[in-house]
Structures are given as C-alpha cells and as structure tokens.
Amino acid sequence: MSFTGKYELQSQENFEPFMRAMGLPEDQIQKGKDLKSISEIVQDGKKFTVTVTTGSKVITNKFTIGEESEIELMTGEKIKAVVQMEGNNKLVTQVKGMKSVTELNGDTITYSMTKGDITLKRVSKRI
C-alpha cells in the first residue's frame, strides 16, 4: 500500500490541550486550531517525503524507514527520530516522550500523537 498522495485535514480532536502540553503559546494555538491543513506524501520504497502546509506555514520532513532522520515538529523544534513501519499501512515513531502513529486506510490517513494522557487525533482524506 502506498502512502503517496495529497490529503486534506477533515477533523481533529484535542488540538488545544495537546498543543498546550507541547508548550505552544496560546496565541499560536488559537491561530492554528481552525486552519485547514494539506499533507502531501511521496513514498519511494522506504524513503518518504512529507510536506504539511497549514496556512502559510510549510514543514517538509524526509525520512527512510528504520534510519535515524531529523524531523521538524509542528512547534518548529527539530529532533532526531527513527520511523518504523508496522504492516504495510502504519508509520510509528517515538520522540521526546511522545508516540506518533500515522495509519493509512484506503483514502483516509489517521494521525495520532500521544503525550502523557492526551492524544491529538487528526483525520485527513485524499484529494
């Protein structure tokens, strides 16, 4: 199953409490909570390029499954992470006490990020 495609954010849960837990300033949380987000994923075997455009902010991350890569978080912080693939439709990584899971089901990507007892869940559809 290939992740390649463009996906538009349809819904999200726990955005505000999760961003507060991440330490994002309240003004940025309020600005970001209603912005539509487009994710473009290009998969070439084990190599991925993920570009997320939210309003005027663009974050591009490139990684190879099983290899350490530098990943930019939505807070702008850059960290080292290893992304693993579970099955043929799930990308999983652990960073800074958080677990990130990106799961592809047909034309829908569900992205969950958990820090402590708060899980941010975002659902995007292929466009």
Q: In this structure, what CATH number is given to the domain that contains residue 95? A: 2.40.128.20
Q: Could you read off the pLDDT of 49-97 as tens digits, one per residue? A: 999 998 888 999 999 999 999 999 877 889 999 999 999 999 999 988 8
* pLDDT the model gives residue 97: 86
User: What's at 88, amino acid-wise?
Assistant: N
pLDDT at 32 over 90: no
Assigned token pair, 67: 């290899």
Burial (CB count <10 Å: 0-12, 13-18, 19+), residue 119: middle
pTM: 0.90
Number of domains in the chain: 1
In contact, 77 and 92? CB cutoff 8 Å: no
Q: Are 32 and 59 in contact (CB under 8 A)?
A: no
Structural domain for 20, as ranges: 5-126
pLDDT at 8 over 90: yes
* pLDDT tier, 33 (very low <50, low <70, confident <90, very high otherwise): confident
